[in-house]
Amino acid sequence: MSNIDIENEEIDLLEPELEDGETLSPHDVKFWKTTYETNKETGKARLKSITINKLKLLKVFFLLGFRRLDIDDQSTFIRIENNRVIKRITINQVIDTFFEYLDEKDFWFDDEKSLNLDMIKEKFITSPGSYFKEDKLYRLNLFTKEKIEFNTDTLNEKFLYYKNGFVRITKAGVEFNDYSKLEKYIWESEVLTRNFTFTKYENSYVGQFVNKICQSEAADVGDRIKALKILMGYYMHSFTDCKLMALMLTDSKISEENEANGRTGKSLFCKILGYMLSRNPEKLDVKTFIDISGKNFDPKEKHRYQDVGYETKIVVLNDLKKYFDVDCIYNDVTEGVTVERKNMSPYRVKPKIILTTNKTVKIEGDSSKDRFLEFEFSDYFSKKRTPEMEFKHWFFRDWDADQWAQFDNYMISCVQDYFVADCKLMEPEHINLNARKLKENTAVVFLDFMSDLKIQFNQWYNKAELFSAFIRRYPDYDNQKFKQMHFTGWVKLYTKYMPEFEEFKKERDEKRSDDVIEMMFRKASNVEDEIM
C-alpha cells in the first residue's frame, strides 16, 4: 500500500493510536510533510518539497527529554535523563542529540524511495536557525503542565545519589533505595560515579586522615575529632534554611620567622567534602563544589562568584590573603552569594562557605564571632610528610571499590553525627590559635616586654608611661609610624589572647583624669593574682 496520497499531495501527520499503558516516543512523531508532483510522461510521483512542521518537531525535542527550566527569572535548557536526572544543556547539544536520533530512527518513507534521510538532514543543515532558535525552544513546555521540582535535603534528611541508587540519611538510620522511589528530580552533577554498598569504615583512609589532623597535646583529641566530624556532616547537609556558618581552616604551627608552614592537609580536607557532593570536584565544568583562589579573590569585584551555579552546595575560598577581613563576606555566609556573569542577569545561590589560610584571620564583633568557626590543623602533615607519603597512594585516584565504600560510609557517619547533635555545631578546641594570633598581630619584642612587666591585677597603669617604657627598651619603635594607639591596641590584644587575662573593656578598664589615661588589667578565673 502506498504511503503517498497523490491526490492530496501530502502525508498525514497524525500520531499513532496507543494501547493502554503505552507512552508516545519521539520515533512515533512524524514532523515533516512531503509534497509530490506527477510526471506527465511516466505518471509517477516525484518529490517536489519537504515541509517541517515546527510544532511536531518541538514535540520530538520534548519527547527526547528537553525542557525549559525557569529559576529566579532565568531560563535555561535542560534534558531529563534516566527518568529523574537533569542535565543542563546548550542549543548545540540539542542539535547533536536530534541528529543522533535521526540516525537511530527507522523512518518510513514513500514506496518509491524518493525521500531519504539525507534529504531531511539537508533540510535542517541548510537553515538551522529556523528550527533551533531560542525563541522556539522556549516553547518546549507547551506539552506539559508538570512543574520540575528538585529533591533536596530537608531539616532532618540528607540524600546522596549513586549510580545504583540513592541513600537517605536521618538521625534514626541510613536507607538505600532504588531510583524508582525517588519522586523528584536531581541534577546530573549530584550523581556520584560509583556504586554504593554498606561496609565497615573503621580503617578508612579518610578516618585516619581526620584523626591525624586533629592530633594535639594542648587539647582533647577526641573532642576535636567529634567537633570536626559534626562540621563535615554540616557541610554535606545541603539544607540552608537554618543558621549558616563558615569554617575557617588554619594551621596550628608557625615558624620563628612568622611565616606560615602550610601543607597541613587543608586543601585535601575540602576535596574530601567535594567528592561526596560532586561527580568530580576537580573538573571545572562541575558546579556542585567550587574552589576559588583566595589570593585573587576581591570581595568588591562583581564577578567574584561567576563560577557558582544554581546547584552549587559548597564554595571554598582557598588560601586567603594575609589580613583578610571576614566581615566583607558576612552577608555571603548568612544570606547567600550573588552570581553575576557576562551577558546574564544576576541570580542568588545559598551555598555553604569554607575559608582556608596559612595565617590567622581577624574575626571581630559579636556577629562575626557567631558566624565563623576556626579549626587548626595539627602539624602532623607538612611538605616533608604529605598524605601521599603517609598513605602510600593518592586519595581518590588510587582507590578501589572497597576503599570508596569505606570512604562513603565514614562520611555518612559524619552526617549522622551531625543529626544526633541536633544539627548544632561544636566549637573545636584550639591548639595554639590565640598565641598565633597574638604573635602575628603584634611583635615578639612586645610579648617579651609584657612578660617582663610582671603585671599586677586590679591596679591602674598609666598608658603613656607604659608606652614610653616600651620605646626606651626598643628604640627602633620610636618613630612616627608607631604611636601610642598602636601600642595600646597591642595591649588590648594581649588581654584578649593570653589565657591569664580577662579581655579589656574600655568602659570598665580605662579611666581619664585631666590628661592622664590609666588602664587596669583583670585576671581570668582560676589564675593567681600575679603573673610570673
DSSP string, 365-428: SHHHHTTEEEEEEPSS-BTTB-HHHHHTS-TTTT--HHHHHHHHHHHHHHHHHHHHTTT----P
- Stronger pLDDT, 43 or 122, i.e. the higher one: 122
With the C-alpha atoms ordered 227, 231, 233, 234, is the resulting torsion angle positive or negative? positive
Using the predicted structure, report yes or no on whether residue 426 has a pLDDT greater than 70: yes
| CA–CA gap between residue 376 and residue 248 (Å, rounded) | 9
Give the pLDDT mean for 485-512: 91
pTM of the model: 0.81
**Sequence ranges of the domains in the chain:** 26-143, 205-432, 442-520
Can you tell me whether residue 61 is helix, strand or coil?
A: helix
Say how far apart CA 150 and CA 12 lie, in whole Å. 39
Express each pLDDT in 383-401 by its tens digit: 899 999 999 999 999 999 9
Phi-psi category of residue 315: left, alpha or beta, with phi > 0 → left and psi -120 to 50 → alpha: beta
SS3 assignment, position 471? helix
Best CA proximity match to 333, nearest among 424, 243, 423: 243
Average per-residue pLDDT in the chain?
Answer: 87
Close Cβ partners of 148 (under 8 Å, ≥ 6 residues apart): 67, 69, 78, 86, 185
**Predicted confidence (pLDDT) per residue in 81-117, tens digit:** 877 899 989 999 999 999 999 988 666 554 455 678 8
Phi-psi region of 72 (alpha: psi -120 to 50; beta: other; left: phi over 0): left
pLDDT value, residue 117: 83
Amino acid 7: pLDDT: 38
The fourth-level CATH superfamily of domain 205-432 is P-loop containing nucleotide triphosphate hydrolases (3.40.50.300)
pLDDT in tens, 183-226: 999 988 889 999 999 999 999 999 999 999 999 888 899 999 99
